[in-house]
Amino acid sequence: MPLRFLQKWPQTLGFDIFGRGPSYVVSVEKGTPAYKAGLMPGDQILELNGRDVTDMSADQIKVLAKSSHTKSPELEVVSCLQTIIMEPDVPIGYGFNVLNEKPLRVGAVSYEGPAYGVGLRAGDVILEVNSRSSVSAEAIGAILSKCHGKLTLLIIPMGRASNLIQVDKTLSKIPSPDPRLHKARALHTRVGYLE
């Protein structure tokens, strides 16, 4: 694989990652090699080229992938998506705010609010709001200020250490009944066609 192709990994394959250890896929563009391989937002990156990267930051994983000069990087992932549903509390509202950053993350969560009660924590990454992806911080801020009706969030639960997925590596060798648990090894094969 040409070195210049790896310089912008993973964006050249159509996805992006985020995290301080563990790291997660936060976006996947439709029609790209990553999309065709089955990579999805919310996937925790477990291995890169057979090496355990569960404790590595996104920046460390990118450096490791770029050092793979002879082949396209191979990933093993597991889905970590969580759906949070809450109703507002009249005096408190939903009980959280968001940071105006990419990816969209929860800024603070009130212990007395509904968000805390359903498991939302500061640092969680928000992928969808009421089944809509690509929601801006301003748009969700407007929803939060109205405090009107049920709010459904699709998140990556990054806000606490207890959410760290500890995966028995032997599970990946057994076919899983859960369609969300998958390997992205096909990404390596599909990218091979680009070389």
- For 44-53, the pLDDT digits (tens) are 999 998 899 9
Between CA 33 and CA 101, with CA 183 as vertex, the angle to 5 degrees is 65
| Domain 3-80+165-192 matches domain 82-162 at the CATH topology level | yes
**pLDDT (tens digit, 9 = 90+) per residue, 3-60?**
344 567 888 889 999 998 889 999 999 999 899 989 999 999 999 988 999 889 999 9
Annotation: CATH topology of 82-162:
Pdz3 Domain (2.30.42)
Residues 6+ apart with CB under 8 A from 36: 186, 190
Assign domain 3-80+165-192 to its CATH architecture: Roll (2.30)
Predicted TM-score of the model (pTM): 0.72
pLDDT > 90 fraction of the chain, expressed in percent and rounded = 38
What is the H or E stretch that residue 191 is in? helix 185-192
Domain ranges of the chain: 3-80+165-192, 82-162
Condensed to tens digits (0 to 9), the pLDDT of residues 54-81 reads 889 999 999 888 887 656 788 899 888 8
Structure-derived torsion over alpha carbons of residues 128, 134, 137, 143, reported in degrees to the nearest 10: -50
